Amino acid sequence: MKKIFDFMGTFSDFMWGIPIAGLIAAVAIIITFYTKGFQFRYFGKIIKNTLGNLKDKGSGETGTSPWRAACTSIANTIGTGNIVGVAVAIGVGGPGAVFWMWMVALFGMIIKYAEVVLAVRYRNPDSVTGNYVSGMNIIAKNGLGKKWHWLAHAFAFSCMISMCVGLGIHTNGFTDAITSAFEVSPVIIGIVIVIITALLAFGGWKRISGFCELCVPVMTIIYIAAGILVLAFHITAIPGSLGLIFKSAFTGQAAVGGFAGATLFAAFSNGMARGVYSSAAGQGLSPFTHANADTEHPAKQGIWAITEVFIDTIIVCTFTALVILCTGEWKTGDAGSALVTAAFSSGLGISHELSAIFVAVILLLFGFSSMITDVYNGETTLAAYFNTKTSRVIFKLIALVFCYFGCVGGLENAYVLNDFFMAWMCLFTVLIILLCRKELIKLTNEYVDKYIQKRK
């Protein structure tokens, strides 16, 4: 067994360096070319028709507004990676890593857009819940010939394992943050998390999406507000920090020592990898939640995916990066949550203990919102094969077990398993998108003709 996990770890370490980030970037460039730079040409209209139109109720078919569906997907996207992941990227790769995170986001927008457009196009009605079932496995099954159906099964298998194991990783992450800020037993945290998760998960899509619609704006605004306050106190450092990001992206500058050649590669590889992790573009997770949206056209919901990546990486991750850089804490050699805690402590002029509490609460909100959507993602994947109330209950109970053991530290190889199967999910996702590109281009052109050019 040890040799199997060692192989998985070696494979994951290799894949989550340049290969996956490079593959997603390459496919993103290809799709950007085929759609004539859709995410860049119409970015202003995309923001106007999403964030500028939050009251849009859609077609009224499912009872889920485009905004609610997007919030649920954003909850899955905005997680601990927006805080800890950015801090790790800077701590290991230096300030230049942020630039490469931005690049992944700008091109990754079209990948996530493609996921959502195809998800709505090929979604199936769910006879058990009355909602829709979709995902990369459904897209492959409905959108490709039988010779490609193995992709559907391979993605589904990888996804269910990754979602279950990922639950433990989420709970382990914010349990560590909570125990470092408060004297609370992990067992108590585990019990509370399981109870709250059960209340939401067994409430189905409506309760989960309702929670996310409330939680996502609140937690994002709180975090950004704290970031704005820090930057207000260090406003003179902002131009220099931005300049450092751009300069270090091409010259290399490590947080602690190192030579330029090594740090340049570290900035590139860490920024690309963390950008993929943070935005979740190419992981094939957004179709599960966006497919439930009331929408008149697949691409009309797809543009929410572009906005989603913009919020996640260009806004939230950038605030984390600027807080770390403007306070100068990136030079200390810390990484992860410790670096973020030190940055907010220094930036706001508060005690380390108070800053640790703030970071713990934010990590809890970010991590829990991601976690609860993972439960739904895994359940939906299973429903494509065993769609009964009993099978759904069994999956939720299994998910709760993983949540608990993540809190108490019972998942020694969780990160290896998650990284291994998530890597395969990315490979399957981009392959499915490439194979379905003709339908994607057709739907994109329809949307442009009907909803954009018509309004000029």
How would residue 263 be classed by pLDDT, with cut points 50, 70 and 90? Answer: low
Neighbours of 260 (CB within 10 A): 12
Give residue-wise pLDDT tens across range 271-307: 777 777 778 888 999 999 999 898 889 999 999 999 9
Q: Is the pLDDT of residue 455 over 90?
A: no
Q: Residue 160: what are its φ and ψ, rounded to 5°?
A: -65, -40
Residue 261 near residue 40 (C-beta atoms within 8 A): no
Residue 284 near residue 428 (C-beta atoms within 8 A): yes
| DSSP alpha helix (H) spans, 234-335 | 238-251, 260-279, 286-290, 298-309, 318-326
Q: How many helices (H) and strands (E) does the chain have?
A: 21, 2
Residue 89 near residue 255 (C-beta atoms within 8 A): no
Residue 20 near residue 102 (C-beta atoms within 8 A): no
Buried b (16+ CB within 10 A) or exposed e, 122-144: bbbebeebebbbbbbbbbbbbbb
Q: What is the pLDDT of residue 261?
A: 43
Residue reference for tokens 């990948």 = 111
- Among 257, 302, 422, which residue's Cα sits nearest to residue 42? 302
Beta strand 132-133 with 124-125 is antiparallel
Higher pLDDT, 260 or 147: 147
Measured in Å, how far apart are the chain's first and last C-alpha atoms?
A: 62
Contacts of 119 (CB under 8 A, 6+ apart): 134, 135, 136, 138, 139, 286, 287, 288, 290, 291, 298
* Mean pLDDT score of the chain: 86
Q: Is the pLDDT of residue 202 over 60?
A: yes
**Predicted TM-score (pTM) of this structure:** 0.90
Give residue-wise pLDDT tens across range 318-351: 999 999 999 988 887 777 778 899 999 999 999 9
Q: Is the pLDDT of residue 106 over 70?
A: yes
Q: What is the pLDDT of residue 258?
A: 42
